[in-house]
Amino acid sequence: MDKDRKIVVPHLGRVEGHGGIDVEIEKGDISKVNMEIFEGSRFYEVLIIGKKYSEISSIVSRVCGICSAGHTLTSQMATENAFQIKITQRTEFLRGLLLHGEAIESHALHLGCLVLPDLLGYDGPLSMAKDYPKEVTIALNLKKLGNKIQELIGGRAIHPINAVVGGFGKCPSKTQLEQLKIELQKGLEMSDAIVDLFSKIKLPDFNFKEGIYSALLPKEERYSYLGDYIYTSDGITRPISEFRKVCHEKVVAHSTAKQSLYNNQPFMVGALARININHKYLTGKAKEALDKLFPILPSHNPLHINYAQAVELVHSIERSIQLIKFLFEIGFEHEEPVQFEVFASKGVGAIEVPRGTLYHYYEFNDKGEVVEADIITPTAQNLANVEKNMREAVKTLMQGPLNTLQSSLENIARAYDPCISCATHLVRIKFK
């Protein structure tokens, strides 16, 4: 092997944000594997200090344009937990629809336009569309469907304005939900093509060591993105109020984003972590997709995040149809948000958003103003695990062709679908 070789890929496409992977191999040993983040700090936790509870969710929804619904609802749930607000069943159903709309949009975009071109050897969805017009069209239509759900329930497709603490400003009409149900049923049929295509793609078999996984335990006996308890794959269950016992944040010199460790070890959150922990709750076509894509569970191959997202895509469409049925059963009379009293308190909200578990923590004074805040995103939790997986890949592949090593690192970064805002921009590999 040439000891002085250097590879620079100036731009890694089909991801969001600005970051880099810096790998150095010196005398046959790995001396560095860094996931470098170049994004500037945005200080949302400081920006909301002194703001009233009613203002927070609309501010923090701007943390992410893809997961804006997740940030909105997690923020509102943290506030409701602080002020001991009990929401209605209709609000629970509507929030579920909003979250599943976000999952449909995010997973369809990631799988169809960011991942599949990479795995099939194309430089983007446009070139892929020449040979796979059906699959690209389906992915775009499913993304559009997810956006439509968020627009209907949240008031607009990005940064929802209809969801408020204690409920919603306006409920969708019967006619609107009837039309949405028809489109969801079509979407469920379309999702078969995505699952079928992924089942035919042979992903590299990275035989990585068994990892640590974390996800919320569903409140009910079903696959869900909501839960009051955090489960880690070492068998420990904790209430969401103890989220800092799972996410030990640290600052690293090579990144403007913090990293999280659990018991001094990297860990994974997101679709694959959820599937590994909660797959027994899947039913219907989602269960069929699971059986088709995952003959063996748990999986420790990070590229199987793509498979897990495909399963969740099907699940979110099925669950959305079910939630509309529930809304029809309880009726469409107008419902005001729940009234409540403000007092000095603190609360935590947690939701499984597309890339993993999102936590919001707020402490309020007796005027309902924020005096302390903490937001931990899924990507911040995953970054240390991304570096761990990349180090394992380098160890396995460094004796082979450089282009194979390079593409493998890019595939791992892309599989995590990171929101830096929101991903990897540069790969640099140096041999000394």
Query: For residue range 277-286, what is the model confidence (pLDDT) as tens digits?
Result: 999 999 999 9
Q: How far apart (Å, rounded) are the C-alpha atoms in residues 352 and 349?
A: 11
Residue 129 included in any domain? yes
Q: How far apart (Å, rounded) are the C-alpha atoms in residues 109 and 423?
A: 14
Residue 266 included in any domain? no
The percent of residues above 90 in pLDDT, for the chain, comes to: 68
Residue 67's identity, in one-letter code, is C
Confidence of residue 14 (pLDDT cuts 50, 70, 90): very low
Task: Please classify residue 17 by burial: count the beta carbons closer than 10 Å to its beta carbon, then call 0-12 exposed, 13-18 middle and 19+ buried.
Answer: middle
The CATH number of the domain where 357 resides is what? 1.10.645.10
pTM to 2 decimal places: 0.91
Model pLDDT, residue 7:
36
Name the DSSP letter for residue 111: I
Model pLDDT, residue 256:
63
| 347-362 average pLDDT score | 97
Provide the domain limits for residue 107: 54-202+322-364
Q: Please check the confidence at residue 424 and state whether its pLDDT lies above 50.
A: no
Domains held by the chain: number: 1
Q: Please check the confidence at residue 16 and state whether its pLDDT lies above 70.
A: no
Residue 393's identity, in one-letter code, is A
With beta carbons less than 8 A apart as the criterion, state whether 324 and 112 touch.
Answer: no
Residue 156 included in any domain? yes
Minimal CA–CA distance to 371: which of 46, 85, 57? 46
Residue 387 included in any domain? no
Which of 202 and 402 is assigned the larger pLDDT? 202
Residue 44 included in any domain? no
Q: Please check the confidence at residue 257 and state whether its pLDDT lies above 90.
A: no
Task: Please classify residue 300 by burial: count the beta carbons closer than 10 Å to its beta carbon, then call 0-12 exposed, 13-18 middle and 19+ buried.
Answer: middle
**Which residues are registered as beta bridge partners of 370?**
364
Residue 174 included in any domain? yes
Model pLDDT, residue 30:
79
Model pLDDT, residue 143:
97
- Reduce the DSSP state of residue 338 to 3 states and report it: coil
CA dihedral (364, 365, 367, 369) positive or negative:
negative
| 346-355 average pLDDT score | 97
Residue 291 included in any domain? no
Furthest C-alpha separation in the chain: 73
What is the full DSSP assignment across 381-426? HHHHHHHHHHHHHHHHHTTS-HHHHHHHHHHHHHHT---SSS---E
Any residues with CB less than 8 A from the CB of 352 and at least 6 apart, and which?
215, 216, 224, 225, 226, 227, 274, 358
Sole residue written with tokens 């200090």: 49
Residue 349 included in any domain? yes
Model pLDDT, residue 271:
98
Q: Please, how many CA atoms are within 13 Å of residue 58, restricted to the half-sphere of its CB? A: 12
Minimal CA–CA distance to 22: which of 10, 36, 11, 12? 36
